[in-house]
A and B are shown apart, each in its own frame.
Chain A
């Protein structure tokens, strides 16, 4: 059982009550099954109420839950024969991004994603899923390799952002991200991205110039973190909850704005409650997306991607006299 998040408290309290009652019934040898049944029904209603009507800030908490499934968790469930490939061939292997080749229902594919750790030690090794330039360059190398062998590409997005550090700047963080946007525009194979946790700014977009963009129900995608927005807007990072609402960062918001193609539903309470079932749901969407895209020619795939990003923007054309 994973640690409860603050908005889940009413559910936890009710669960505890039911457990207490069960214990009591067992020890006192009285029949309380009716009472327990009533409470269980109430619990079910409460779960539906809380989980189907989550505020943006609650979704941020779910998206950041340390036990939320990561790229490697989904790879394990969705693909077979995964072989991880390392390194950018220039400088290092950045473990904040993983990638490799595998089968997807018998079809060879390339899969790449941000990778954070769940425990502290792994998180340090993976730099909390915040890549350096070599991570993006590795990703691009694997994408070009996929293109050569005509493999579709799946990207899992899950990062707070590209790492803001001295070494990252020295080695060209900006250039690495920019180059990915540019080169992904020209890939002749189908590319699908799925935001599985946090989609933090340019560091997320560098794996996101894709034919289809999906978001898990409780994931976020934003130009700046709620804390960052709050500290710039109101000089107070503690107003992150308000910023999460104002910035429109949930899957529902992005679908409404026409930026993403689909919201992938999550198991009740969030993906971490049942990663295996979650992976099954995710797989169905990938299958559907790949089926649509593999029907297109190389030119159509590039055109499809161009059209998708070309229309993004919100402005008025004033009538010229």
Chain B
């Protein structure tokens, strides 16, 4: 039994456990994982039980949406929203739906974001967790709609809205409709904000393009995980435009913090505790004036 769980033969079939993205190469298949940062090799299990943080160099591996929910919210408090929304192919892009369906199978998600309500150390919150294993976490109509509905639900419930972003940006296959999701989510956030409610944006690796240029940057507090790639334009595009070599830490969370673009960077191991404290600090019932 112990060996079986160690080998974890059914891992791919279980909901949302993916350790190896394309660039995080591993060998032998699934049993061992090589840290892309320090190149050390670990048992995959060892990394999984360490919140997917490298035990040697603290590299934060990409989490799946379900892993994030499990590590962040109170046990069994999560209720998903809007799992019935399905992607269409408005521009008739060849094999777009097939790719979406393949990622549904691979991740067990209906789209690149998982939304719902739950509790964080007893505090009621609405959360959205983007998953970069699903079409690079790109934002099309369903992602925009799920996030907007989640924000509207948080406004209705008068609770904080917390998002973990992980996205390459707007989803090209849905064209300008994807672009408009940036506006749709932002107008919903404005309403949530006008009610005096807290919005926390927690940026994880990677948060770029249209997602970075909309809700990800609109938190009352903008927080990031260590070393997360965060930026508007792609590094290669910038290098081609300005024809200069960019610093190694360009567009990392640390770079953004140094340039005044972030409130804080939280290590994954302290994420739950710190965010719970922030939520408690924003409980309604601040100073009231007569």
- Indicate if B213 sits at the interface (CB-CB under 8 A): yes
Is A162 among interface residues, defined by CB-CB distance under 8 A? yes
A259 in contact with B176 given A165-B241, A170-B259, A201-B210 (CB within 8 Å): yes
Which residues in B have their C-beta under 8 angstroms from that of A249? 175-176
Contact of B176 among A169, A175, A222, A318 (CB under 8 A): A222
Q: Does the CB pair B214–A248 fall under 8 Å?
A: no
22 pairs, CB–CB < 8 Å, chain A vs chain B? A169-B231, A169-B250, A173-B232, A177-B232, A181-B182, A182-B189, A182-B190, A185-B190, A202-B179, A209-B183, A222-B179, A223-B174, A223-B176, A223-B178, A223-B179, A246-B93, A253-B176, A259-B176, A309-B184, A312-B180, A314-B141, A317-B84
- In chain B between 68 and 124, which residues have their CB closer than 8 angstroms to a CB of chain A? 84-88, 90-91, 93
Using Cβ atoms and an 8 Å threshold, which residues of chain B touch A248?
91, 175-176
How far, in whole Å, are A259 and B144 apart by their CA atoms in the complex? 15
A36 interfacial by beta-carbon distance below 8 Å: no
Contacts of A171 in B (CB 8 A): 259
Pick from B182, B218, B234, B250: contact of A166, CB under 8 Å: B250
CB contacts (< 8 Å) of B86 on chain A: these are 315-318
Interface of chain B residues 129 through 158 with chain A (CB within 8 A): 141-142, 144-145, 148
Q: Assess the B210–A257 pair: CB atoms within 8 A.
A: no
A40 to B229, CA, bound (A): 61
A interface list, Cβ under 8 A from B? 162-166, 168-175, 177-179, 181-183, 185-186, 201-202, 205-206, 208-209, 221-224, 229, 232-233, 246-249, 253-254, 257, 259, 305-306, 309-310, 312-320
Task: Answer yes or no: B242 CB below 8 A from chain A CBs.
Answer: yes
Write out the residue numbers on chain B whose beta carbons fall within 8 Å of the beta carbon of A314: 88, 90, 141, 174, 177
- Contact yes or no, A313 B212, CB < 8 A: no
Residue B9 at the chain A interface, CB threshold 8 Å = no
Q: Which of these, A175, A179, A253, A305, contacts B187 with CB under 8 Å?
A: A305
- Chain B 246-290 per-residue mask, 1 if CB under 8 angstroms from chain A, else 0: 100011000000011100000000000000000000000000000
Q: Which of B161-193 contact A (CB under 8 A)?
A: 170, 172, 174-184, 186-191, 193
Is B187's CB under 8 angstroms from A223's CB? Answer: no
Tell me the bound Cα distance from A171 to B191 in angstroms: 27
Residue of A nearest to B237 (CB): A164
Query: With the chains together, A232 CA to B138 CA distance in Å?
Result: 14
Given A170-B259, A208-B183, A315-B86, decide whether A186 and B172 contact each other with a Cβ distance below 8 A: no
A312 touches B184 (CB 8 A): yes
Residues of A within 8 A of B231 (CB): 169, 174
Q: How far apart sit A271 and B175, CA to CA, in the bound complex (Å)? A: 26
The 8 A-B residue pairs with the shortest CB-CB distance, nearest first, are A164-B233, A181-B186, A313-B141, A185-B187, A185-B190, A178-B217, A312-B180, A174-B212
B183, B209, B218, B233 — most chain A CB neighbours (10 Å)? B183
- On whether the beta carbons of A179 and B188 are closer than 8 Å, the reply is no
Interface residues of B in 39-87 (CB under 8 A from A): 84-87
Report which B residues bind A (CB closer than 8 A): 84-88, 90-91, 93, 141-142, 144-145, 148, 170, 172, 174-184, 186-191, 193-194, 209-210, 212-218, 230-234, 237-238, 241-242, 244, 246, 250-251, 259-261
Q: Are A172 and B187 in contact (CB under 8 A)?
A: no
Which residues of A sit under 8 angstroms from B237, Cβ to Cβ?
164
Nearest CB of chain A from residue B142's CB, rounded to whole Å = 5
| Minimum Cβ distance to chain A for residue B57 (Å) | 25
- Taking CB atoms, residues of chain A closer than 8 Å to B215 are 178
Contact assessment for B241 and A164 in the assembled complex, using a CB-CB cutoff below 8 Å: yes
Q: Which residues of B contact A259 (CB under 8 A)?
A: 176-177, 180
Asked if B175 and A247 make an inter-chain contact with CB atoms under 8 angstroms apart, the answer reads yes
- Write the nearest CB–CB distance from B140 to chain A, whole angstroms: 8
> Is A317 touching B85 in the complex (CB atoms < 8 A)?
yes
Closest CB of chain A to B171's CB: distance in Å?
8
* A164 closest partner in B (C-beta): B233
Complex: A166 Cα to B235 Cα, angstroms: 9
Q: Do B84 and A312 have beta carbons less than 8 Å apart?
A: no
B213 touching A306 by the CB < 8 A rule? no
Question: CA A221 – CA B176 in complex, angstroms?
Answer: 7
A177 contacts across to B, CB distance below 8 A: 213-214, 217, 232
Please give, as numbers and ranges, the residues of chain A lying within 8 Å of B181 by CB-CB distance.
312-313
CB distance from B233 to the nearest CB of A (A): 3
Residues on A with beta carbons closer than 8 Å to the beta carbon of B194: 186
- Residue contact B190 to A223, C-beta cutoff 8 Å: no
Q: Which residues of B have CB within 8 Å of A318?
A: 84-86
A182 with B186: CB separation less than 8 A: yes
Q: How far is the CB of B241 from chain A (nearest CB, A)?
A: 5
Interface-central residue, B84, B184, B216, by most chain A CB under 10 Å? B184
Which single residue of chain B is at the shortest CB-CB distance from A136? Answer: B213
User: Across the interface, which residues of A come within 8 angstroms of B174, CB to CB?
Assistant: 223, 314
When the two chains form their complex, are residues A174 and B232 in contact, meaning their CB atoms are under 8 A apart?
yes
Q: Which residues of B lie under 8 Å from residue A178 when comparing CB positions?
A: 182, 186, 212-218
